């Protein structure tokens, strides 16, 4: 089942005298339960693609369906409601509220839904334990590490069981150990909950945790790799080869 369908996606900025076309007719389907990474050199359009697919930005042309709903022509109020109920977000800079505890930050998506306190607490306990953040529940963001902040952000994204989770460079601000910990957790939740994840990353190590990698070049899909039955190390090597051909930044140990 397609959880996300994007057809002939164009995105341009400027006016007819000075127009920059960032996305040039992208077609993309993501299946229920897939963990997809988007890669490409700086300026390739990968972040713009994530932004339009996640409704943060609007397309110039084309259609996007998420879980059967056409979001490209939704009015702003209906789109805000759809985003609240159906989408989860993990950002590079965490986007936590400093005045709220870890638990309060994670519970935010449920606080704007009609969920009882008992049910909310049960959902919190489950996802916080899954992401290894439960013991830090009463701390504030300035009292925890970057890795814990990002796992808090991930717990917030998963707690309301959205149709799809969009992750924008989620390991970009983390050291390698914290990044591996987060990616292990995302991979586990992807399988355990059959959660659909779309992640933009520049890091082939991070991308090797996903089941499919889509490479973007000059606003178009350049190539794709499917992990299949490969182990992560072999998939990492395939990603590196494709990235080398693509002319992307090489990852160094």
Is pLDDT above 60 for 250? no
Interval 39-60 mean pLDDT: 93
Residues composing the chain: 253
97 lies in some domain? yes
Give me the DSSP letters along 114-169: T--HHHHHHHHHHHHHHTT-GGGTTS-GGGS-HHHHHHHHHHHHHTT--SEEEEES
28 lies in some domain? no
Question: What domain range includes position 49?
Answer: 33-58+73-247
**pLDDT, position 249:** 46
**pLDDT, position 19:** 85
* pTM, two decimal places: 0.92
**pLDDT, position 252:** 38
- Structure confidence by residue, pLDDT tens digits, 58-85: 999 999 999 999 999 899 999 999 999 9
13 lies in some domain? no
Task: Write the CA distances from 143 to 100, 108, 126, 129, 140, integer angstroms.
Answer: 12, 19, 22, 19, 5
224 lies in some domain? yes
Is pLDDT above 60 for 251? no
- Structure confidence by residue, pLDDT tens digits, 214-236: 999 999 999 999 999 999 999 99
Residue 115 binned pLDDT confidence (cut-offs 50, 70, 90) = confident
CATH number at 237 reads 3.40.50.300
What rounded mean pLDDT belongs to the chain? 93
Please enumerate, as own/partner, the contacts of 242-246 that have beta carbons within 8 Å and a separation of 24 or more. Answer: 242/213, 242/215, 243/39, 243/204, 243/215, 246/40, 246/41, 246/215, 246/217, 246/222
Interval 135-147 mean pLDDT: 97
The percentage of residues in the chain with a pLDDT greater than 70, rounded to a whole number, is 98
Q: Which residue has the higher pLDDT, 80 or 249?
A: 80
Residue 246 binned pLDDT confidence (cut-offs 50, 70, 90) = confident
Interval 115-141 mean pLDDT: 96
120 lies in some domain? yes
52 lies in some domain? yes
184 lies in some domain? yes
**pLDDT, position 113:** 84
How many domains does the structure of the chain reveal?
Answer: 1
64 lies in some domain? no
């Amino acid at each position: 089942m397609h959880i996300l369908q994007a057809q002939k996606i164009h995105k341009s900025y400027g006016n007819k005298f000075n127009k920059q076309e960032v996305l040039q007719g992208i077609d993309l389907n993501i299946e229920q339960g897939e963990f997809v990474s988007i890669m490409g050199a700086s300026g390739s359009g990968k972040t713009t693609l994530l932004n339009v697919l996640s409704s943060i930005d609007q397309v110039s042309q084309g259609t996007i369906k998420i879980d059967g709903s056409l979001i490209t022509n939704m009015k702003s109020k209906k789109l805000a409601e759809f985003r609240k109920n159906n989408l989860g977000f993990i950002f590079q800079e965490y986007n936590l509220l400093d005045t709220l505890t870890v638990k309060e930050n994670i519970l935010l998506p449920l606080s704007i839904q009609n969920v009882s306190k008992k049910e909310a607490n049960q959902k919190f306990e489950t996802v916080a334990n899954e992401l290894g953040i439960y013991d830090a529940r009463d701390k504030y963001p300035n009292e925890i590490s970057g890795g814990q902040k990002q796992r808090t952000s991930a717990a917030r994204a998963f707690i309301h069981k959205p149709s799809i989770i969009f992750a924008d460079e989620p390991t970009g601000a983390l050291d390698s150990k914290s990044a591996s910990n987060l990616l292990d957790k995302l991979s586990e939740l992807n399988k355990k909950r059959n959660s659909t994840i779309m992640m933009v990353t520049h890091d082939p190590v991070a991308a090797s945790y996903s089941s499919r990698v889509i490479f973007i070049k000059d606003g178009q899909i350049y190539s794709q790799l499917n992990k299949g039955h490969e182990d992560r190390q072999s998939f990492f090597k395939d990603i590196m080869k494709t990235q080398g051909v693509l002319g992307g930044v090489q990852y160094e140990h």
